[in-house]
A and B are shown apart, each in its own frame.
Chain A
Amino acid sequence: MIKDFILLPLKEMRRRKLRSWLTLIGVIIGMAAVVSLITLGQGLENAIADQFDALGNDKLFITAKGNSLTPGLSIDAVKITQKDLDVVRSTSGIKEATGLIFSTARVEFNDNVRYFFVSGMPTELEERKLIGESQSYHLLKGRWLESGDNFKAVAGFLYTEDNLFGKEADLGDKILIQDTSFKLVGFWERIGSPPDDQSISIPIDAYQEIFNKPDEFGLLIAQTNTGDDPEKVAAQVEKELRKSRNVEEGKEDFSIETPAELAETFSTILNIVQWVLIGIAGISLFVGGIGIMNTMYTAVLQRTKQIGVLKALGAQRKHILTLFLIESGFYGLGGGLIGVAIGLFFAKMVEFALVAAIGPAFLSLEINLWLIVGTLIFSFVVGCLSGIAPARRASRLNPVDSLRYE
């Protein structure tokens, strides 16, 4: 019996192709929006999780309060200095610690001037390693900055392409940073985010000299001993820094973050953004549902005579109700099917475009089977719900009047 109650509505939908398609479009747009936004959101979340995994969870990041990990933007008088770095280093549970500093700077090459991030990096081997690990720096060619490299620089990946300065930079080229000449000794591999790939690294001594910041770090990175709980070590570092900086508990002018905390912050923000987007997509889905309702009301009018005939032939209210509900459910389901396909396709296109434009680090898409199944069920339910009122009207039509209806 079920089969008949599925085939009949399908035949009706096929008969009115244009109207069926127009109805479907409403649902398709809503569903495609929901699916692509959720997929992209999850892709973003995955990518961020991957980044934090790469970071390792044994790292601590210490910044002056008010500074975030976005460097160089601080105008606060609060500074992180060599003294702080020494305190961190000597805290028990810390294996290694280093500091770096960054800001935007005037970069001149091939007679072009642009403003990019410049970071002052340590040149000691162990410290370099820590930076490389936590900031995803890997050498593409050339070498790292070493002790005694005063005016040498390692440039980001995009310097190897000609669209930054109209000419590819190469090892040995001279580049002007804040009007001081640096010799390129290496290039980083692509990190995946343009600000990173456009940045340039110089020895921290040179940085402090040309920016006139003799004793200042933007960020301290510390690595905890294997086996020690990073959270506990972080608490210990906090205590030591409070003591040396002479601040009370609760009034710290610095902050310590662990990757776990950072990841949590990111995913909270991402979740909020995602729910807002899904809410917007939900509105379009609601509009799609109204479209189905409208179509079904029209269908009831157009098929009044047919309903009368079906009733004369012995159809009860429940039969008519079922037929119309299934039809509207199909509008939902059909729209859902096409919407899911388009949504996934769209998400893939966005991934493709993003990877082509700025590298692979931003998005790691994953086709979520539950999302698809859930969307299809949901769209069928939306269709059915939209059809309830029209189907009830159809089922309650008086057979005599409907038979007379022309």
Chain B
Amino acid sequence: MNKMKKSLIKLKDVWKTYQMGEISLDVLKGISLEIYPGEFILIIGPSGSGKSTLMNQVGILDTPSKGNIFLEGKDISKLDESGLAQIRGKKIGFIFQQFNLLSTLSALENVTLPAIFQNLPEEKRKKRGTQLLTQVGLGDRLHHKPTELSGGQQQRVAIARSLINNPEILLADEPTGNLDSTSGKQVMQLLSDLHKKEKKTIILITHDHELVKFADRTIHLKDGMVLKITGKRRR
């Protein structure tokens, strides 16, 4: 085993069990995996395979029923909700299938929103937000509301938003799922660039096998277990 790089995220025998009345349902059944800094990881699997639940664990939106999750070596499975939120806000940028922009806010306000929770002064926020929107090709759409933007543009705003606090990890849940193929390609290109040029660790959840080509490693999920891991770890 090559231990030159320490893992960024490490899941150790992670179980997630949902109690549905009398029945308890194991959605994740002892998942162990490590994700290293700068990797582009694809988590793929059919619906019901536990992808979303795994994303919630990796994105520390939720804590496991059993097992441990380490972020940069620190066990976060025992943290309370606010502790998780603090770490999440700093370390992880989320990109959702449905963009999840706030309809009352302009593109720039949406992008800078996560920075408010990190107490970044307004001036810096605006400057960085403008830079990021320019970077995703929306420098001329700063003050448009989400409803005035196309799906592809909205997702690019969401990507800019995920970058505002300069997180190490970008977590994208079916980011192209709601987009036409052209917009989808643009979005994937953007993520690929962020991976290559800015060395972001990207974790992308999808059921689309077409996207495997972008990833360093692909984690195949089935019935709450890791079926196989394909690809190679970057050195």
- Interface membership of A399, Cβ < 8 A: yes
Contact of B102 among A1, A306, A403 (CB under 8 A): A306
> Using a Cβ–Cβ cut-off of 8 Å, how many residues does chain A contribute to the interface with B?
26
- Interface membership of B139, Cβ < 8 A: no
In the complex, are the beta carbons of A313 and B161 less than 8 A apart?
Answer: yes
- Interface membership of A312, Cβ < 8 A: yes
Instruction: Name 30 interchain pairs, CB-CB below 8 A, sorted by A.
Output: A1-B119, A3-B122, A4-B116, A8-B104, A11-B104, A11-B105, A309-B100, A312-B61, A312-B94, A312-B96, A312-B100, A313-B94, A313-B113, A313-B114, A313-B117, A314-B86, A314-B89, A314-B117, A315-B85, A315-B89, A316-B86, A317-B81, A317-B82, A399-B61, A399-B81, A400-B56, A400-B61, A400-B62, A403-B96, A403-B100
A residues bordering B, Cβ < 8 Å?
Answer: 1, 3-5, 8, 11-12, 14-15, 305-306, 309-319, 398-400, 403
In the complex, are the beta carbons of A318 and B82 less than 8 A apart?
Answer: yes
In the complex, are the beta carbons of A305 and B100 less than 8 A apart?
Answer: yes
Give the Cβ gap from A242 to chain B, nearest Cβ, in Å. Answer: 80
- Interface membership of B181, Cβ < 8 A: no
In the complex, are the beta carbons of B62 and A399 less than 8 A apart?
Answer: yes
Chain B interface category by residue count: 20 to 34
CA distance A215 to B102 in the complex (A): 89
Q: With contacts A15-B104, A314-B117 known, what are 17 further pairs, Cβ within 8 A?
A: A4-B122, A11-B104, A306-B100, A306-B102, A312-B61, A313-B94, A313-B117, A313-B161, A314-B88, A314-B89, A315-B89, A315-B117, A316-B81, A316-B117, A317-B85, A319-B117, A400-B61
- Interface membership of B90, Cβ < 8 A: yes
- Interface membership of B50, Cβ < 8 A: no
CA distance A400 to B18 in the complex (A): 13
CA distance A305 to B102 in the complex (A): 10
Within 73-130 of B, Cβ neighbours of A (below 8 Å) are at 81-82, 85-86, 88-90, 94, 96, 100, 102-105, 113-114, 116-119, 122
Residues of B contacting A14 with CB < 8 Å?
104
Given A319-B117, A400-B62: A311 in contact with B105 (beta carbons within 8 A)? no
Contact of B114 among A5, A15, A305, A314 (CB under 8 A): A314
Residue of A whose beta carbon sits closest to that of B85 = A316
- Interface membership of B59, Cβ < 8 A: yes
In the complex, are the beta carbons of A1 and B116 less than 8 A apart?
Answer: yes
- Interface membership of B201, Cβ < 8 A: no
Residues of A contacting B218 with CB < 8 Å?
none
Residue of B whose beta carbon sits closest to that of A10 = B104
Residues of B contacting A319 with CB < 8 Å?
116-117
Residues of A contacting B105 with CB < 8 Å?
8, 11
- Interface membership of B176, Cβ < 8 A: no
Residues of A contacting B81 with CB < 8 Å?
316-317, 399
- Interface membership of B206, Cβ < 8 A: no
- Interface membership of B165, Cβ < 8 A: yes
Residues of B contacting A1 with CB < 8 Å?
116, 119
CA distance A98 to B61 in the complex (A): 91
CA distance A128 to B72 in the complex (A): 101
Residue of A whose beta carbon sits closest to that of B90 = A314
CA distance A305 to B97 in the complex (A): 13
CA distance A306 to B102 in the complex (A): 7
Give the Cβ gap from B124 to chain A, nearest Cβ, in Å. Answer: 13
In the complex, are the beta carbons of A314 and B118 less than 8 A apart?
Answer: yes
Given A3-B122, A318-B82: A312 in contact with B59 (beta carbons within 8 A)? yes
In the complex, are the beta carbons of A15 and B86 less than 8 A apart?
Answer: no
In the complex, are the beta carbons of B122 and A314 less than 8 A apart?
Answer: no
